[in-house]
Chain A
């Protein structure tokens, strides 16, 4: 018993710990990838937030007609 218990305790710790750590790491990476995919690429071109970015700009600068501030063109 003196060696049996430490042997199985070690196995549970290593295998169980590795399984738990792997699952946690997988969840973290999945979350990071999900966030990265949801963000628009540099410049606000295509992507999920592109429509919102275009709406925020005044007309004539990529903004949708009738949206943003009505600043006159020079």
Chain B
């Protein structure tokens, strides 16, 4: 897994090279426009992670598969990390362009709601006693929480928002910027996949780790006693 992590790091460094050395500076916004590449890529990676949570939840409820539940848990955490990056980078772009870090427009608000839904999902997993009941409840939260993903994505077309509209489908980017964006998006999706895989292994090992009483019986000292 360390090799995959190194590959993902190398891919992100290559993307950074394109963002800072290859992509031209925007004539209107200046250097701050370069935030766009990772901001949008992180948002797409978060959508992908939440789609995995949805899939994991459906498979868990359908087949009662523990592996699907672990996958959903892993993807939810990675999705929240990417949504955090999206929100903070967006705020740091908004300040010089709009003059404010935050406005309550449809895209920003729905993204914040998305972050809260999946942060709530993780909270449910942490607070509820581990078992089938918690997994079932979390699967339902994960499935219904995904409803917010299309709301976030189409908010700029459904409502009049301050947030810029779609630029890729409207062919609004010059070729160098488009290439930089596509490469960054591919590298970010790869990083997200690696993070989910690592997290999945952590969840598997955590599930298999003996309970503290069993650890004491076997003569091992639990981490808390060290």
Contacts and interface: CB of A to CB of B under 8 A. Distances in A.
Interface of A: 1-4, 6-8, 10-11, 14-16, 18-19, 22-23, 25-26, 29-30, 32-33, 35-36, 39-42
A2 B195 contact: no
Given A2-B96, A15-B85, A18-B195, A29 B206 contact: yes
A48 to B, nearest CB: 12
A47 B168 CA distance: 60
Contact of B218 (A10, A11, A33, A41): A41
B209 interface: yes
Chain A facing B: main interface SS:
helix
B210 interface: yes
A19 B89 contact: no
B88 interface: yes
B96 A3 contact: yes
11 contacts: A4-B31, A4-B35, A10-B85, A15-B85, A19-B195, A23-B2, A30-B205, A32-B209, A33-B208, A35-B220, A42-B218
Contacts of B42: 11
Interface string B187-202: 0000100110011011
A2 B89 CA distance: 13
B8 interface: yes
B81 interface: yes
B181 to A, nearest CB: 15
Given A15-B81, A23-B198, A3 B92 contact: yes
A54 B32 CA distance: 71
Interface residues of B, number: 40
A26 B85 CA distance: 23
A26 B81 contact: no
B202 A3 contact: no
B93 interface: yes
A7 B2 CA distance: 27
Nearest to A16: B9
Contacts of B76: none
B38 interface: yes
A35 B219 CA distance: 11
A42 B218 CA distance: 6
A14 B86 CA distance: 11
